[in-house]
Amino acid sequence: MRSFTIEDPIEYVYESKQSLIHQREVGEDITDFASAIRSAQLAGTLKGIVSQ
């Protein structure tokens, strides 16, 4: 399973054990929450967490 997090800032680094977890930080990896969500949808990501 592919999962993603969008955080501002990243507070905890997840360890991938049984799934692939992509962590994105606003300002470092992406410009804003909206573009990160669009990007995750285009990539076919199944689950996501958004944290501010």
Task: Give the whole-angstrom CA distance, residue 1 versus residue 34.
Answer: 22
- Residue 42's pLDDT is 86
Cβ proximity of 4 and 40 under 8 Å: yes
Predicted confidence (pLDDT) at residue 1 exceeds the cutoff of 90:
no
pLDDT band at 32 (very low <50, low <70, confident <90, very high): very high
- Residue 24: which region, alpha, beta or left (left: phi > 0; alpha: psi -120 to 50)? beta
As a whole number, mean pLDDT of residues 28-48 equals 85
Predicted confidence (pLDDT) at residue 51 exceeds the cutoff of 90:
no
- How many of the other CB atoms lie within 10 Å of CB of 24? 19
Provide the whole-model pTM. 0.74
DSSP letter at 13 equals: P
